[in-house]
Amino acid sequence: MKYIREFRDGKLARRLGTAIANEVKADRRYHLMEFCGGHTHAIFRYGVQDLVPDNVEYVHGPGCPVCVLPVRRLDDAVELALRQDVILTTYGDMMRVPGTKQKSLIKAKAEGADIRMVYSTQDALNIARDNPDRQVVCFAIGFETTTPPTAVAIQQAKAEGLTNFTVFCNHVLTPPAIAHIVEAPAEPGETPVRIDGFLGPSHVSSVIGSAPYEPAARSYRKPIVIAGFEPLDVMQSTLMLIRQINQGRHEVENQYTRVVTRHGNRKAQQIVADVLECREEFEWRGLGTVPHSALRIRSAYGEFDAENRFALTPKASREVKSCECPAVLRGVKKPTECKLFGTVCTPDNPMGACMVSSEGACAAYWTYGRRREAALSKREAAE
Amino acid sequence: MCLAIPARVVSVEAGDMATVALEGIRKPVSTALLDTVNVGDYLLVHVGFALHKLSEDEAERTLKLMAETGVLAEELAEMADGPDTATEGETGG
Amino acid sequence: MSSPSGRSGLHPGTVDMTHGGGGRAMTDLIEDLFRRHLTNPILDQGHDAGVFDVPPGRLAMSTDAHVVSPLFFPGGNIGSLAVHGTLNDLAMAGAKPVSMTAGFILEEGYPLSDLERIVISMAEAAREAGVPVIAGDTKVVEKGKGDGVFITTAGIGVVPENVAISPAAARPGQVVLLSGPIGDHGVAILSKRENLEFETEIRSDSAALHGLVDAMISAVPHIAVLRDPTRGGLATALNEIAHASRVGCVLHEEDIPVRPDVQAACELLGLDPLYVANEGKLICICEAGDADRLLDVMRSHPLAMQAAKIGDIVEDDDCMVTMQTGFGGARVVDWPSGEQLPRIC
């Protein structure tokens, strides 16, 4: 696996580990928010935290598209799926996410909803072609990375004149989310999140480039390093961030140069701009309503918008009370500070989205991090 | 965030499609988001689409940069003891 | 594929409700399709129950239900899988299989030619394993109420004296051996799933392991634990053992064999090979001093040529399975929550 395995090399990891240890100042802590769930996953999956000094702390960000989707939108998807005339296609990630009253797509499927797990929007189109007498709704989620494939599918559907294909569009944008995290005031009773720098989105940036983060780095005076998702990428980016912090710089730097350029993939950007436009505002789980942070289908392609084709009923969607997913997504709380974590909320019986997605902070803590947490608390107790 | 994997193009097909290989796995992917694609290119693949070409030069440069960073404990020992006790060659990945 | 009696080619037509109705059509199906291929002296007695002599020793009995989609996959089909699964259940208790039974639940409309291919491969697997299918049953359900073919089986075996293999027998200080690369079966199945298709040479590892187990027990009778890591993969099997034995387990990622193609498919679909199913691998937990001897025996058997020591049993009140990663860190290898689904993020 060329260009994968090399970036998981244990010896290079130790090298970077010593370099980071030499770079950190002993008299301070470094709070680094990894924006993306991909980083969270790499940190836990490979045990990166074990290889960096204790005063380097990773704060998990909201960059998990599954986790930030508000319950209301998931409830809408369940409603669509339960319609007799509809086949709902979804990425596997969404299947187990609990909606209101813990209702998930996997439970709707058990009730008879026709839900097909797909790997690509191309599969969704194929299902539409094969089932001309059914309405095929593509449940589209994800950041700027996953958006272009949705836009291409809509263009294809229009070119082919497919009349039974629509998209339930939930694509969201990362730069406004980063700005929101830095700007949002802490809620009553919360300690404001402390962030010294960001590990910036990697695959999102392959599409949009590194330039869109420059205003945020400038105006909030926070360094941002675009970081790949392999564990060595995370470590090298950590080193780059610590250097910037020590030198008082706050620039956008690009560690992931093998696929990220300053301007990204312009062709993909054009296709997205042709099909989709910015929403005035969109609700994010955890962040609340964030202006200009999501995309909807342009009126020129309105016939492919599931929100136009189907009348969705208003709902009193509700998250589980005392689920701390929102605070966890903003980075103000650790999963272990949630009362539900590990008691009523486990990956087998998730109360919130962060416990479902393999890159949700709660699931990552549960699956990979418990041992470390247990060891730390034993050590603290001993001290 | 998003799962995306670099894979090598083994054939380019009509209709903005290509077949990529990762070890022995072959998978058709859409190249609708790229201008040109050639056999041998490494593409970053996400949900069945190629998002970007991978720059092999940049990948090598990044790895080289990592290999030149930091010092391993055994190298420190080696420096202290002199070259005679060197046991392990450093390949840098 | 050979065609034993006068008829050439596979059975024409499809399953219909008369095949389960108890009349002529059912008898013909049983005679012409099942008994013809599965033939052995006990089955040929013609009873509904197979009557046989029991060798001395403690009896082991297992039951297994087989559903797999797709029914035919690279490296096997539901027929061979049903035999291997049943015999492996016996073998993991240290039992030598004696005989097995099979019940077929058929969906109306299922092609008889495909059913025959399944029965032929069941017969081949049973013959190869040296274990006869001594009784069977067939039922038909209406179209839409089944998934083509379901098979239920039962297996009977005998446990030799001095063998006390148990999932609760793992003790700190013992070591964990694995018979070969993980994840082949699960990835082979996924490669044929609708909407996921990819091209691969990976075949299911589906195989009967009792011969291997017999060789291992002959070399080291006091093996502590044997387990085939089927559904849920290596991670699930080790968690089950850790809980049953009230111990912890520390794995070494770099020692766990995974084929490059399996690793690649997992990267592509966002899966972890530790949680992917196997149908022809076993985990063996034994005293550290017996490990080399067992590994020698395993590596000289065709089904375990890549056998490796992959971890250690340790004391742990929390019964956790952890892993030293090749990267240099540590992680918990937890129980999975349901089937691993392909993911995009």
Burial label for A155, CB within 10 Å (0-12, 13-18, 19+), is middle
A75 phi-psi bin (left φ>0, alpha ψ -120 to 50, beta other): alpha
- State CA A34 to chain mean position distance: 11
CB nearest to A146's CB, from C195, C338, C344: C344
Are C298 and C304 contacting, i.e. CB atoms less than 8 angstroms apart? yes
| pLDDT tens, position by position, C288-327 | 999 999 999 999 999 999 999 999 999 999 899 999 999 9
Query: Residue written as tokens 């208790």?
Result: C93
| pLDDT tens, position by position, A352-363 | 888 887 668 888
Pick the last residue of a domain from A279, A300, A321.
Answer: A321
Mean pLDDT of C62-76: 96
Q: Would you say residue A365 has pLDDT above 90?
A: no
**Is B77 within a domain?**
no
**Pairing, β C225-227 against β C96-107:** unpaired
Backbone angles phi, psi at A326, to 5 degrees: -55, -45
- What pLDDT is stored for residue A34 in this prediction? 92
- Alpha helices for A131-213 (secondary structure H): 147-160, 174-183, 203-208
- Looking at the fold, whether A122 and A100 belong to one and the same domain comes out as yes
Read off the tokens for A148. 């272009």
- What pLDDT is stored for residue B88 in this prediction? 44
Pick the last residue of a domain from A321, A345, A366.
Answer: A321
- Looking at the fold, whether A348 and A315 belong to one and the same domain comes out as no
Residue of A nearest to C262 (CA): A1
Q: Which of A48, A141, A41 lies closest to A354 in space, CA to CA?
A: A41
Q: Which positions in chain A touch C335 (Cβ < 8 Å)?
A: 348
Alpha-carbon distance values, A181 to A171, A195, A326 (Å): 18, 10, 12
- What pLDDT is stored for residue A343 in this prediction? 87
- What pLDDT is stored for residue B83 in this prediction? 54
How many distinct structural domains can be found in chain B? 1
Q: Which positions in chain C touch A372 (Cβ < 8 Å)?
A: 330
Which chains border B (3 or more CB–CB pairs < 8 Å)? A, C
Read off the tokens for A214. 């420059």
The enclosing domain of A238 has a CATH number of 3.40.50.11740
Half-sphere CA count of C158, side-chain side, radius 13 A: 10
Mean pLDDT of C140-150: 95
CB nearest to A64's CB, from C195, C260, C345: C345
Q: What angle do CA C107, C108, C114 make, to 5 degrees?
A: 70
**Pairing, β C283-286 against β C175-178:** antiparallel
Residue span of the structural domain in which B28 resides: 5-54
Residue B36 contacts by C-beta under 8 Å, 6 or more apart in sequence?
A: none
Alpha-carbon span A234 to C265, nearest angstrom: 23
**Is B75 within a domain?**
no
- What pLDDT is stored for residue C7 in this prediction? 55
Q: Which of C318, C315, C317 lies closest to C333 in space, CA to CA?
A: C318
| pLDDT tens, position by position, C242-258 | 999 999 999 999 999 99
More confident residue, A124 or A356: A124
Residue span of the structural domain in which A368 resides: 325-382
More confident residue, A372 or A286: A286
- Looking at the fold, whether A120 and A232 belong to one and the same domain comes out as yes
| Model confidence band, residue A332 (pLDDT cutoffs 50, 70, 90) | confident
- Looking at the fold, whether A335 and A287 belong to one and the same domain comes out as no
CB nearest to C264's CB, from A1, A47, A347: A1
- What pLDDT is stored for residue C3 in this prediction? 41
Q: Count Cβ–Cβ pairs < 8 Å, chain A vs chain B.
A: 151
C328 interfaces chain B, CB cutoff of 8 Å: no
**Which of B23, B26, B43 to mutate against chain C (most C CBs within 10 Å)?**
B23
- Looking at the fold, whether A196 and A336 belong to one and the same domain comes out as no
**Which of B10, B20, B25, B42 to mutate against chain C (most C CBs within 10 Å)?**
B25
CB contact under 8 A, A1 and C325: no
pTM, 2 dp: 0.91
Read off the tokens for B25. 């796995």
* Per-domain boundaries in chain C: 17-159, 175-332
B15 phi-psi bin (left φ>0, alpha ψ -120 to 50, beta other): left
SS (H, E, C) C81-125: HHHHHHHHHHHCCCCEEEEEEEEEEEECCCEHHHHHHHHHHHHHH
| pLDDT tens, position by position, C161-203 | 889 999 999 999 999 999 999 999 999 999 998 777 789 999 9
- What pLDDT is stored for residue A378 in this prediction? 66
Q: Would you say residue C341 has pLDDT above 80?
A: yes
**Is B74 within a domain?**
no
Q: Which of A299, A308, A285 lies closest to A357 in space, CA to CA?
A: A285
Alpha-carbon distance values, A114 to A107, A128, A137, A306, C197 (Å): 11, 13, 11, 16, 20
The enclosing domain of B28 has a CATH number of 2.30.30.140
- What pLDDT is stored for residue C166 in this prediction? 96
How many distinct structural domains can be found in chain A? 2
What letter would DSSP give residue C339?
Answer: S
**How much helix, strand and coil, in percent to the nearest 5, is found in chain A?**
45, 20, 35
- Looking at the fold, whether A209 and A348 belong to one and the same domain comes out as no
Mean pLDDT (chain C) is: 93
- Looking at the fold, whether A304 and A201 belong to one and the same domain comes out as yes
Pick the last residue of a domain from A321, A346, A364.
Answer: A321
- Looking at the fold, whether A159 and A244 belong to one and the same domain comes out as yes
CB nearest to C328's CB, from A10, A117, A346: A10
Q: Count Cβ–Cβ pairs < 8 Å, chain B vs chain C.
A: 39
**Is B28 within a domain?**
yes
- Looking at the fold, whether A304 and A370 belong to one and the same domain comes out as no
Note the CATH number of domain C17-159: 3.30.1330.10
- Looking at the fold, whether A289 and A363 belong to one and the same domain comes out as no
Instruction: Measure in Å the smallest separation between the Cα of B18 and chain A Cα atoms.
Output: 14
Are A63 and A283 contacting, i.e. CB atoms less than 8 angstroms apart? no
Q: Would you say residue A23 has pLDDT above 70?
A: yes
Q: Which positions in chain A touch B63 (Cβ < 8 Å)?
A: 6-7, 12
CB contact under 8 A, A17 and B65: no
CB contact under 8 A, C341 and A92: yes
CB nearest to C198's CB, from B1, B3, B27: B27
Mean pLDDT of C218-228: 97
| pLDDT tens, position by position, B41-87 | 999 999 999 999 999 999 999 999 999 987 777 787 777 776 554 44
Three-class SS of residue B19? strand
Pick C175-332's CATH classification: 3.40.50.920, 3.90.650.10, 1.10.150.310, 3.40.190.10.
3.90.650.10
Largest Cα span, chain C: 67
**Is B17 within a domain?**
yes
**Pairing, β C96-107 against β C133-141:** parallel
**Is B10 within a domain?**
yes
Alpha-carbon span B50 to B53, nearest angstrom: 8
- What pLDDT is stored for residue B86 in this prediction? 43
Are A43 and A61 contacting, i.e. CB atoms less than 8 angstroms apart? no
Q: Which of A286, A224, A282 lies closest to A253 in space, CA to CA?
A: A224
**Pairing, β C283-286 against β C248-252:** unpaired
- What pLDDT is stored for residue C104 in this prediction? 97
- Looking at the fold, whether A134 and A283 belong to one and the same domain comes out as yes
Q: Which positions in chain C touch B1 (Cβ < 8 Å)?
A: 345
Are C330 and A48 contacting, i.e. CB atoms less than 8 angstroms apart? no
Read off the tokens for A172. 């969201």
- What pLDDT is stored for residue C8 in this prediction? 57
Region of poorest pLDDT, from A43-47, A228-232, C11-15, C191-195? C191-195
Three-class SS of residue A148? helix
CB nearest to C264's CB, from B2, B25, B47: B25
**ipTM of the assembly?**
0.90
- Looking at the fold, whether A375 and A257 belong to one and the same domain comes out as no
